[in-house]
Chain A
């Protein structure tokens, strides 16, 4: 944007001796870029509004960082939320938020683009904008202020942040960043013209261009102010993941971060149809990366980075066609000299076989987490996570027999129709898993991790009223008492108060913006961190603005109610979601549409795209536990990838 910008580094470095973990602020990672700013390029600052060690590994941010820097008309740098000690030093010394790549002031960029992966970072977004020296409220920004853009899964209910964010990008970011760059370049310096141009970009929502109407506390409508602004904003979806082999140069941090390993995304989207899972609903259809490209990205990535662990990421990695061959190929590759381990996040239990267990424990045993989510078969039918008890026991047996001493099980509580029997079923499953483990190792143990359920927008459960804090706590206590005497079962749970705030922020409307601002002004940053989280600030802010927690979070919603996110489309038909909700209440499961007839949810047909999978047959567990013969299914909209010989 501005030529001859000067680095803030000489003013930043004297602060580093005074703070914890100074390496958070120095940049210099392998793969980091040092783009030259000039007036011909739209300058993006990609921000992850949490601590460096949490934000750095984010793959979405790294993908856009590379794509933008490859363009002739754009450049991108990165920034993360400075930790509290650094923020104090920066404010005292008058040092604004800066990029870690070339240490430019944030306000010198054209765009501050935030990655929103979780609701509890919302107050950090405000803090970062403020630290940049940019007005926190969009309405107070002027020509020349950077644009504040946000993307990521939380953008699917943009309303709570509508007062602070100029534009939201919905869906896959790979293509839309180019259109946003073009729109900004064409109208740079004229804020209103840029916003109007952005509103015409498919996948971009500009909240200031809509009027919001209420009737008392009910939301009535969110309507465009101008004819060329869409009444319904559609998401962007890339058709073929194989065209986007990013990141090509995954950042290798100089200091400790979470997920410190090579990450290769093997597919995007999931059609298992778990009804609680927003990610699975909003990222349809399934788009697999070709196996040959996965292998190439793994081998290039390991050689370039020197990592000894690779994670094959997706929403359900064992569902990847030929996952066994890919994992075996990496582990048994002589170039890896037996030192590279593979981790598969989001493993479905029905796909975790002794074969996979044997392969992944050859190098070192990475942690194993299974997510049955519900404690009884009835509960799992309601949420459509159709894992049979024997599937879970089989997976756990595979793990313990292959030398694991501990497995982690993840469950949700506060689900629709849940009874105490369902909650206690969690304890029974864990107890049985420990008994299986004890056959192989007398110290076998099971860690049960319980999270409170937040009914997310764009899921079949979006009409369901979230459990109150007291009720969630009662369920936790019930379970805790039930497993108290079970040696080998460790129970952990997510703070129900944090679940409440996630509900406020993810299910709220535009009026919640004032609440987020109040919490931020009261010092409520880094709410993802339990030592920093304070529910009292949120309760006080709700009261201050006359808003009812019960009304926003705990109340069941009617079908004819205008939901705050109804003008945002993830491609899913409202009647598909509603009928899936009715099926849920009847405890009726549905099969994975990758291999069975289409339910016409809208995700494929609406965008003229289809599933891209390499195998016409489902993997283990593909029948969703219904035992149904899937070979006689009707025509399914599937593009088959060219299969690659896997002989070694």
Chain B
């Protein structure tokens, strides 16, 4: 049985890394005594896989992980038990049985972000300029080489909402980080306040969340047995 879990990362804990979060989950699984399947070898580890890494310092309403279990469990009440076993700031929104075929890393095609930028910035002008631009070039280091990439095709949405920048950035073929978008727009934001609000899977021309907070999930079902 594979479980898909959606959780948040909010508050001070946003300063921990993706690797840190993985360790917190391993401990939480043992604390709740979930019968995780373990890898073979010298140092057996529970079989868990995460979605796309969130940059250290970013908050999120939509983090995901999949866990392979050695035996089936009831998902009712599991979200609360896991939240209690996790550090403050990590809260499980929903747990459901998952289709064991797709991986989060491969399936997710874009992410939505909310970005707080310094109040002096004219957001409306920034958005207009970004949308009007034919290309948005960023310099990236890849295997020791500096390359210049146009990220404009990856910007699927750019808008202002409640004084914050809202955008949807493609994650394939190569992910664009919110900080890269800010850089391309010329925003100097040493401590930009970044929050991931959604991850999206595109299938059959429609956009789905891997596990929406309340509506039915794609390829997922509750198990109350």
Pair B28/A254 contact, Cβ less than 8 Å: no
A13 to B27 Cα, complex, angstroms: 27
Q: Which residue of the partner chain B has the closest CB to A260? A: B23
Q: What B residues does A302 contact at CB under 8 A?
A: 30
Judging by beta carbons under 8 Å apart, are B87 and A28 in contact? Answer: yes
Max chain A CB contacts within 10 Å: which of B15, B23, B43? B15
Given A23-B16, A254-B20; 5 other pairs, CB 8 A cutoff: A17-B190, A254-B13, A255-B20, A339-B44, A364-B42
Q: How long is the Cα–Cα vector from A459 to B9 in the complex, in angstroms?
A: 52
Which of A106-114, A284-292, A304-312 forms contacts with chain B? A304-312
Per the CB 8 Å criterion, the residue count for chain B at the interface is: 28
A415 CB to nearest B CB, Å: 36
User: Which residues of A does B touch, CB under 8 Å?
Assistant: 9, 13-14, 16-18, 22-23, 25-30, 252, 254-256, 302-308, 339, 364-365
Among A14, A25, A339, A365, the residue within 8 A (CB) of B42 is A365
Distance A25 CA – B14 CA, assembled complex (angstroms): 12
A364 with B44: in contact, given A13-B191, A23-B16, A28-B89 (CB under 8 Å)?
yes
Using A28-B13, A254-B20 as known contacts, say yes or no to A22 and B88 having CB atoms under 8 A apart: no
B20 touches A256 (CB 8 A): yes
Contact flag A306-B27 (CB < 8 Å), given A14-B191, A27-B12, A254-B20: yes
List the A residue with the shortest CB-CB distance to B179.
A17
B38 neighbours in A (Cβ, 8 Å): 339
Q: How far is the CA of A254 from the CA of B13 in the complex (A)?
A: 8
With A28-B87, A252-B27, A305-B27 given, is the CB distance from A16 to B20 under 8 Å?
no
Q: Which residues of B contact A27 (CB under 8 A)?
A: 12
Q: Are A16 and B16 in contact (CB under 8 A)?
A: no
What are 29 residue pairs bridging A and B, where the CB atoms are less than 8 Å apart in the complex?
Answer: A13-B191, A14-B191, A16-B15, A18-B190, A18-B191, A23-B15, A23-B20, A23-B56, A25-B15, A26-B16, A27-B12, A28-B87, A252-B27, A254-B16, A254-B24, A254-B87, A255-B17, A302-B30, A303-B31, A305-B27, A306-B26, A306-B27, A306-B28, A306-B29, A306-B31, A306-B85, A339-B38, A364-B44, A365-B42
- A255 engages B16 (CB within 8 Å): yes
Q: How far is the CA of A22 from the CA of B12 in the complex (A)?
A: 10
Q: Which chain B residues border A16 with CB–CB below 8 Å? A: 15, 57, 191
Within the complex, the shortest CB–CB distance from B199 to chain A, in Å, comes to 23
- Which residues of A lie under 8 Å from residue B43 when comparing CB positions? 364
Contact indicator B19/A256 (Cβ below 8 Å): yes
Chain A residue at minimal CB-CB distance from B89: A28
Among B19-61, those with CB < 8 Å from A are 19-20, 23-24, 26-31, 38, 42-44, 56-57
Roughly how many angstroms separate A25 CA and B15 CA in the complex, as a whole number?
A: 9
Say whether, besides A254-B87, A306-B29, A14 and B190 are in contact (CB < 8 Å): yes
Q: Which of A26, A252, A304, A365 contacts B13 (CB 8 A)?
A: A26
- Assess the A17–B12 pair: CB atoms within 8 A: no
Residues B17 and A23 in contact, CB atoms below 8 Å apart:
yes
Most A CB contacts (10 A, CB to CB) among B42, B87, B89 go to B87
Determine if B57 and A22 form an interchain contact, defined as CB atoms under 8 angstroms apart.
yes
Whole-angstrom CA separation of A22 from B17 in the bound complex:
9
| Residues of B close to A13: CB separation below 8 A | 191
Least distance between B90 CB and chain A CB atoms (Å) = 10
Q: In the bound complex, how far is the Cα of B5 from the Cα of A190, in angstroms? A: 58
User: Per-position contact with A for B165-202: 1 when CB-CB < 8 Å, else 0?
Assistant: 00000000000000000000000001110000000000
